Amino acid sequence: MHRNIAGSDRELERRRFVAWLLAGGLASPLAASAARDEGSTPGDAGLRNPLLWAVAWKQTAAEFGALCHQAYNVARLRVDMAIAAGRGKGKPAAVITDMDDTIIHAKSYWGYLVNEGLDFFDDALWDRWLPENLVTAVPGALDFLRHCESVGVEVFYVTNRDQGERTYDYALGQLRHLEFPWADEAHLTVYRDTSDKSATREQLAASHDLLLMLGDNLNDYKRDYYVADVDERYALMERDRLEYGVEFVLLPNPTDGHWVRAIFGDSEPAATDDNRRRLREAAARIAWDGR
Protein backbone atom coordinates (compact mmCIF):
# COMPACT_ATOMS: atom_id res chain seq x y z
CA MET A 1 0.00 0.00 0.00
CA HIS A 2 0.97 3.61 -0.48
CA ARG A 3 3.03 3.88 -3.66
CA ASN A 4 5.61 6.58 -3.81
CA ILE A 5 4.34 9.32 -6.08
CA ALA A 6 5.64 12.83 -5.71
CA GLY A 7 2.75 15.28 -5.21
CA SER A 8 2.66 18.75 -6.67
CA ASP A 9 0.63 21.81 -5.82
CA ARG A 10 -0.70 21.96 -9.37
CA GLU A 11 -1.94 18.38 -9.14
CA LEU A 12 -3.55 19.18 -5.79
CA GLU A 13 -5.29 22.22 -7.26
CA ARG A 14 -6.58 20.08 -10.12
CA ARG A 15 -7.95 17.43 -7.76
CA ARG A 16 -9.52 20.07 -5.53
CA PHE A 17 -11.22 21.61 -8.54
CA VAL A 18 -12.46 18.19 -9.71
CA ALA A 19 -13.81 17.51 -6.22
CA TRP A 20 -15.64 20.85 -6.32
CA LEU A 21 -17.08 20.07 -9.75
CA LEU A 22 -18.26 16.67 -8.58
CA ALA A 23 -19.96 18.26 -5.61
CA GLY A 24 -22.08 20.28 -8.02
CA GLY A 25 -19.89 23.33 -8.37
CA LEU A 26 -20.42 23.63 -12.14
CA ALA A 27 -23.37 21.50 -13.16
CA SER A 28 -26.72 21.99 -14.90
CA PRO A 29 -28.80 24.90 -13.52
CA LEU A 30 -31.02 22.40 -11.70
CA ALA A 31 -28.14 20.50 -10.16
CA ALA A 32 -26.34 23.73 -9.31
CA SER A 33 -29.45 24.97 -7.59
CA ALA A 34 -29.81 21.74 -5.63
CA ALA A 35 -26.17 21.86 -4.62
CA ARG A 36 -26.40 25.54 -3.62
CA ASP A 37 -28.72 24.66 -0.75
CA GLU A 38 -25.78 22.96 0.89
CA GLY A 39 -23.20 25.43 -0.32
CA SER A 40 -21.78 25.20 -3.81
CA THR A 41 -18.65 27.30 -3.49
CA PRO A 42 -15.29 25.52 -3.71
CA GLY A 43 -14.80 26.00 0.02
CA ASP A 44 -17.99 24.07 0.76
CA ALA A 45 -17.35 21.28 -1.73
CA GLY A 46 -16.52 18.86 1.06
CA LEU A 47 -20.03 18.99 2.52
CA ARG A 48 -21.05 16.01 0.38
CA ASN A 49 -17.83 14.10 0.96
CA PRO A 50 -18.63 10.42 1.66
CA LEU A 51 -15.58 10.21 3.92
CA LEU A 52 -17.02 12.59 6.50
CA TRP A 53 -18.81 10.09 8.76
CA ALA A 54 -15.89 7.70 8.99
CA VAL A 55 -13.32 10.44 9.55
CA ALA A 56 -15.51 12.31 12.05
CA TRP A 57 -15.81 9.04 13.96
CA LYS A 58 -12.05 8.59 13.98
CA GLN A 59 -11.53 12.20 15.05
CA THR A 60 -14.16 12.50 17.77
CA ALA A 61 -15.80 9.29 18.99
CA ALA A 62 -14.88 8.18 22.49
CA GLU A 63 -16.18 4.83 21.25
CA PHE A 64 -13.32 4.71 18.75
CA GLY A 65 -10.80 5.27 21.53
CA ALA A 66 -12.58 2.75 23.76
CA LEU A 67 -12.40 0.08 21.04
CA CYS A 68 -8.66 0.64 20.86
CA HIS A 69 -8.34 0.28 24.64
CA GLN A 70 -10.56 -2.79 24.50
CA ALA A 71 -8.24 -4.35 21.93
CA TYR A 72 -5.18 -3.60 24.03
CA ASN A 73 -6.84 -4.82 27.23
CA VAL A 74 -7.53 -8.14 25.51
CA ALA A 75 -3.99 -8.22 24.13
CA ARG A 76 -2.52 -7.68 27.58
CA LEU A 77 -4.73 -10.38 29.07
CA ARG A 78 -3.60 -12.86 26.40
CA VAL A 79 0.08 -12.06 26.92
CA ASP A 80 -0.25 -12.38 30.69
CA MET A 81 -2.12 -15.68 30.37
CA ALA A 82 0.53 -17.02 27.99
CA ILE A 83 3.38 -16.07 30.30
CA ALA A 84 1.54 -17.53 33.31
CA ALA A 85 1.12 -20.76 31.32
CA GLY A 86 4.88 -20.96 30.82
CA ARG A 87 5.09 -19.81 27.20
CA GLY A 88 8.39 -18.31 26.08
CA LYS A 89 10.58 -20.54 28.22
CA GLY A 90 12.08 -22.34 25.24
CA LYS A 91 12.10 -19.96 22.32
CA PRO A 92 11.72 -16.33 23.43
CA ALA A 93 8.16 -15.01 23.53
CA ALA A 94 7.12 -12.41 20.97
CA VAL A 95 4.19 -10.48 19.56
CA ILE A 96 3.91 -9.08 16.03
CA THR A 97 2.16 -5.80 15.42
CA ASP A 98 1.25 -3.79 12.36
CA MET A 99 1.94 -0.04 12.53
CA ASP A 100 -0.60 2.17 10.69
CA ASP A 101 -3.99 2.25 12.43
CA THR A 102 -2.80 -0.41 14.88
CA ILE A 103 -0.26 1.42 17.05
CA ILE A 104 -0.23 4.80 15.28
CA HIS A 105 -2.96 7.06 14.00
CA ALA A 106 -2.82 9.53 11.13
CA LYS A 107 -5.69 11.81 12.09
CA SER A 108 -4.23 15.00 10.65
CA TYR A 109 -3.75 13.30 7.28
CA TRP A 110 -7.46 12.42 7.15
CA GLY A 111 -8.41 15.90 8.34
CA TYR A 112 -6.31 17.38 5.57
CA LEU A 113 -8.01 15.19 2.95
CA VAL A 114 -11.40 16.36 4.16
CA ASN A 115 -10.33 20.01 4.12
CA GLU A 116 -9.14 19.55 0.54
CA GLY A 117 -12.53 18.17 -0.47
CA LEU A 118 -11.00 14.79 -1.37
CA ASP A 119 -13.01 11.65 -0.79
CA PHE A 120 -10.56 8.82 -1.56
CA PHE A 121 -7.25 7.83 -0.02
CA ASP A 122 -4.65 9.95 -1.76
CA ASP A 123 -1.29 8.29 -2.13
CA ALA A 124 0.66 11.36 -3.23
CA LEU A 125 -0.59 13.35 -0.24
CA TRP A 126 0.10 10.42 2.08
CA ASP A 127 3.70 10.37 0.89
CA ARG A 128 3.98 14.10 1.51
CA TRP A 129 2.31 13.87 4.92
CA LEU A 130 4.22 10.91 6.32
CA PRO A 131 7.71 12.48 6.57
CA GLU A 132 6.17 15.31 8.60
CA ASN A 133 6.00 12.82 11.49
CA LEU A 134 2.59 13.94 12.72
CA VAL A 135 1.54 10.47 13.87
CA THR A 136 -0.03 9.90 17.28
CA ALA A 137 -0.07 6.74 19.38
CA VAL A 138 -3.23 4.64 19.30
CA PRO A 139 -4.91 4.71 22.73
CA GLY A 140 -3.56 1.84 24.82
CA ALA A 141 -0.74 0.91 22.41
CA LEU A 142 2.17 2.39 24.31
CA ASP A 143 1.11 0.90 27.65
CA PHE A 144 0.61 -2.53 26.11
CA LEU A 145 3.93 -2.57 24.25
CA ARG A 146 5.80 -1.37 27.32
CA HIS A 147 4.06 -4.07 29.33
CA CYS A 148 5.35 -6.63 26.82
CA GLU A 149 8.84 -5.27 27.34
CA SER A 150 8.48 -5.43 31.13
CA VAL A 151 7.55 -9.11 31.04
CA GLY A 152 10.25 -10.00 28.51
CA VAL A 153 8.05 -10.35 25.45
CA GLU A 154 9.72 -9.05 22.30
CA VAL A 155 7.72 -6.81 19.99
CA PHE A 156 8.18 -7.04 16.23
CA TYR A 157 6.81 -4.28 14.02
CA VAL A 158 5.80 -5.16 10.46
CA THR A 159 4.54 -2.54 8.05
CA ASN A 160 3.90 -2.07 4.36
CA ARG A 161 4.84 1.38 3.14
CA ASP A 162 6.72 3.05 0.35
CA GLN A 163 7.95 6.59 0.53
CA GLY A 164 11.08 5.87 -1.49
CA GLU A 165 14.63 5.42 -0.21
CA ARG A 166 13.87 6.83 3.24
CA THR A 167 10.83 4.60 3.89
CA TYR A 168 12.59 2.54 6.54
CA ASP A 169 14.06 5.58 8.32
CA TYR A 170 10.64 7.25 8.47
CA ALA A 171 9.04 4.15 9.98
CA LEU A 172 11.79 3.62 12.54
CA GLY A 173 11.79 7.33 13.33
CA GLN A 174 8.07 7.20 14.12
CA LEU A 175 8.51 4.26 16.50
CA ARG A 176 11.27 6.14 18.31
CA HIS A 177 9.39 9.44 18.26
CA LEU A 178 6.48 7.80 20.08
CA GLU A 179 8.89 6.00 22.42
CA PHE A 180 7.72 2.50 21.59
CA PRO A 181 9.95 -0.26 22.98
CA TRP A 182 12.14 -2.51 20.80
CA ALA A 183 12.40 0.29 18.23
CA ASP A 184 15.46 -0.95 16.36
CA GLU A 185 16.38 -2.59 13.09
CA ALA A 186 16.16 -6.09 14.54
CA HIS A 187 12.48 -5.51 15.38
CA LEU A 188 11.17 -3.56 12.40
CA THR A 189 10.36 -5.02 8.99
CA VAL A 190 9.16 -2.73 6.21
CA TYR A 191 7.73 -4.18 3.03
CA ARG A 192 7.91 -1.64 0.23
CA ASP A 193 6.67 -3.79 -2.64
CA THR A 194 3.99 -6.00 -1.14
CA SER A 195 1.31 -6.07 1.54
CA ASP A 196 2.08 -9.77 2.09
CA LYS A 197 3.59 -10.04 5.57
CA SER A 198 3.62 -13.86 5.62
CA ALA A 199 7.41 -14.21 5.30
CA THR A 200 8.05 -12.31 8.53
CA ARG A 201 5.32 -14.24 10.33
CA GLU A 202 6.83 -17.57 9.26
CA GLN A 203 10.39 -16.51 10.04
CA LEU A 204 9.48 -15.31 13.53
CA ALA A 205 7.38 -18.38 14.22
CA ALA A 206 10.55 -20.43 13.70
CA SER A 207 12.76 -18.36 16.01
CA HIS A 208 10.23 -17.24 18.63
CA ASP A 209 7.21 -18.40 20.56
CA LEU A 210 4.61 -16.17 18.91
CA LEU A 211 2.00 -15.25 21.48
CA LEU A 212 -0.16 -12.86 19.52
CA MET A 213 -0.54 -10.70 16.43
CA LEU A 214 -2.16 -7.28 16.20
CA GLY A 215 -3.48 -5.34 13.22
CA ASP A 216 -6.30 -3.25 11.77
CA ASN A 217 -6.52 -5.41 8.65
CA LEU A 218 -7.25 -9.14 8.61
CA ASN A 219 -4.43 -9.38 6.08
CA ASP A 220 -2.13 -8.52 9.02
CA TYR A 221 -3.19 -11.90 10.42
CA LYS A 222 -3.46 -14.15 7.37
CA ARG A 223 -2.82 -13.59 3.69
CA ASP A 224 -6.08 -15.48 3.04
CA TYR A 225 -7.87 -12.17 3.52
CA TYR A 226 -6.26 -10.63 0.45
CA VAL A 227 -9.26 -11.49 -1.68
CA ALA A 228 -11.24 -9.07 -3.79
CA ASP A 229 -14.66 -10.44 -2.96
CA VAL A 230 -16.80 -9.21 -0.10
CA ASP A 231 -18.68 -12.48 0.51
CA GLU A 232 -15.57 -14.65 0.33
CA ARG A 233 -13.70 -12.37 2.70
CA TYR A 234 -16.60 -12.33 5.12
CA ALA A 235 -16.85 -16.14 5.03
CA LEU A 236 -13.13 -16.43 5.84
CA MET A 237 -13.67 -14.15 8.81
CA GLU A 238 -16.47 -16.40 10.07
CA ARG A 239 -14.23 -19.44 9.58
CA ASP A 240 -11.68 -17.84 11.92
CA ARG A 241 -14.21 -16.43 14.38
CA LEU A 242 -12.82 -18.25 17.42
CA GLU A 243 -9.33 -16.83 16.81
CA TYR A 244 -10.13 -13.14 17.26
CA GLY A 245 -8.98 -11.88 20.61
CA VAL A 246 -7.05 -15.13 21.01
CA GLU A 247 -4.51 -15.43 18.18
CA PHE A 248 -5.14 -12.03 16.63
CA VAL A 249 -6.32 -8.76 18.14
CA LEU A 250 -8.04 -6.38 15.73
CA LEU A 251 -8.06 -2.58 15.91
CA PRO A 252 -10.86 -0.53 14.30
CA ASN A 253 -10.31 1.30 11.01
CA PRO A 254 -13.29 2.55 8.97
CA THR A 255 -11.33 4.42 6.28
CA ASP A 256 -8.87 2.06 4.60
CA GLY A 257 -7.56 -1.48 4.37
CA HIS A 258 -8.27 -4.61 2.38
CA TRP A 259 -11.98 -4.38 3.14
CA VAL A 260 -11.78 -1.54 0.61
CA ARG A 261 -10.10 -3.88 -1.88
CA ALA A 262 -12.95 -6.35 -1.46
CA ILE A 263 -15.38 -3.67 -2.65
CA PHE A 264 -13.36 -1.98 -5.38
CA GLY A 265 -10.81 -4.64 -6.39
CA ASP A 266 -8.11 -2.17 -5.33
CA SER A 267 -6.93 -1.10 -1.88
CA GLU A 268 -6.52 2.46 -3.11
CA PRO A 269 -9.28 2.94 -5.69
CA ALA A 270 -9.15 5.96 -7.97
CA ALA A 271 -11.42 8.91 -7.17
CA THR A 272 -13.84 8.33 -10.05
CA ASP A 273 -17.63 8.48 -10.29
CA ASP A 274 -17.68 4.76 -11.13
CA ASN A 275 -16.00 4.09 -7.79
CA ARG A 276 -18.37 6.48 -5.99
CA ARG A 277 -21.24 4.43 -7.43
CA ARG A 278 -19.60 1.24 -6.20
CA LEU A 279 -19.28 2.76 -2.75
CA ARG A 280 -22.96 3.67 -2.76
CA GLU A 281 -23.87 0.15 -3.88
CA ALA A 282 -21.76 -1.29 -1.06
CA ALA A 283 -23.46 0.98 1.46
CA ALA A 284 -26.90 -0.06 0.20
CA ARG A 285 -26.06 -3.76 -0.09
CA ILE A 286 -28.85 -4.54 2.30
CA ALA A 287 -31.59 -1.94 1.98
CA TRP A 288 -35.25 -1.63 2.90
CA ASP A 289 -37.41 -0.99 -0.16
CA GLY A 290 -39.43 1.64 1.72
CA ARG A 291 -42.77 -0.12 1.22
The binding site for Mg ion (CB under 5 A) comprises 98, 100-101, 216
- CB nearer to Mg ion: give 23 or 95: 95
The CB-of-217 to Mg ion minimum distance in angstroms stands at 5
- Point out the residue whose Cβ comes nearest to Mg ion: 100
- CB nearer to Mg ion: give 35 or 106: 106
The CB-of-54 to Mg ion minimum distance in angstroms stands at 15
The CB-of-243 to Mg ion minimum distance in angstroms stands at 18
Report the C-alpha gap between 53 and 31 in whole angstroms.
24
The CB-of-6 to Mg ion minimum distance in angstroms stands at 23
- CB nearer to Mg ion: give 100 or 119: 100
- CB nearer to Mg ion: give 15 or 197: 197
The CB-of-249 to Mg ion minimum distance in angstroms stands at 13
Instruction: Please compute, for residue 206, the number of CA atoms within 13 A of its CA located in the half-sphere on the CB side.
Output: 5
- CB nearer to Mg ion: give 177 or 276: 177
